[in-house]
Amino acid sequence: MRSLYGVLLALGMAFTCLPASADPIPGSMDVHWNEGAADCSKTPEPPLQVYRYNAQTYILRESPCATFEAPFMYLLIGSKRALLIDTGDVADPGQMPLAKTVMDLLPGDADARMPLLVVHTHGHLDHRAADPQFQSLPHVQVVPTDLEHVKQFFGFSNWPDGMSQIDLGDRTIDVLPTPGHYPSHVSYYDRNTALFFSGDFFMPARLIIDDTASDIASARRVVDFVRDRPVSYVLGGHIELDSHGDTFAWGSNYHPDEHVLQLTKQDLMGLPAVLAKFNGFYREDGMYVMFNQYRLLAAELAVVVLVLAAMVTLTWKYIRRRKRRRLARA
């Protein structure tokens, strides 16, 4: 009996790892995201935009006027529980009513909402600031973003190799380690819709790469995963490009003529080749702007130090020159 049970268990686990074969449940990306404003005080807009991709999938975005980061969050509803990916950049529920909005979208009445699991793509503050809005709510679990908690919750025993699943009830989400932008970064693949949620690992925005080797390895793992699977869209954490592929100014609250959020499977398949060109410091390749933020900051700091040193040296020479002149006149 034990051997038979082991065989059945192995077959079951193998089946869960097979490529998705059913046609993805369709949805629409016919949406215009709020673009913020040059002067947000004169052109107010709702702090949170909610878009229904299909009956069980919602895309939420914080307004560029509420935060220049304007991050995206994703709500996936199964038959037993729901999943929220990321909680955005604004903690104050008065300014950003994220938890109330999400809970109102869940099936059930106020006293018996569907259970909610809150996860993240990674631990940068603009993707987890509103966690406290959820932490005291009943039937809500928030998974911390540090690497040890991520490995423990998802059962990654050989990080960053391996894969995990989240069962929402008639909806399975695959979880893939994708470090490089952040040590505990993960991406999510929804088997029902064939949507790939890439966080800040891959998006129509600046690609901040803190660990080049890890980022390239993550891209290769993702390509191996999606190669034989359908991908309806790749949905990331931000949009920082206009429709021509040019970046908006850093910190801008105004995104006119914005690039679409969704990227394609072909874009994702080409990512390893793009990352292979990265020099570890800064590089532009078509629409992709890649950089290592720590090395750029170090270079900027070095320039500041050199300028200050030059100013001190010139000031010291000027003072000495004036002192010599005074001594000569005396």
> To which H or E segment does residue 58 belong?
strand 57-62
State how beta strands 48-54 and 57-62 pair.
antiparallel
Q: Which tokens go with 261?
A: 């959020």
**Non-local CB neighbours of 279 within 8 Å, separated by 6+ positions:** none
Q: What's the pLDDT tens digit per position in 140-161? A: 999 999 999 999 999 999 999 9
- Rounded Cα distance between 191 and 131, Å, is 26
Report pLDDT digits (tens) over 104-115: 999 988 778 999
What is the arithmetic mean of pLDDT over 51-55? 98
pLDDT one-digit tens code per residue, 253-283? 999 999 999 999 999 999 999 999 999 999 9
Is the preceding peptide bond at 183 cis, omega within 30 degrees of 0?
no
pLDDT at position 6 over 50: no
Where do we find the tokens 């993707």?
Answer: 127
DSSP codes of every residue in 60-103: EEE-TTT-TT--EEEEEE-SS-EEEE---S---TTT--HHHHHH
Look at the pTM and tell me if it is higher than 0.75.
yes
Mean predicted lDDT score pLDDT of the chain: 90
Q: Which segment of 28-32, 224-228, 276-280, 298-302 scores lowest on mean pLDDT? A: 298-302
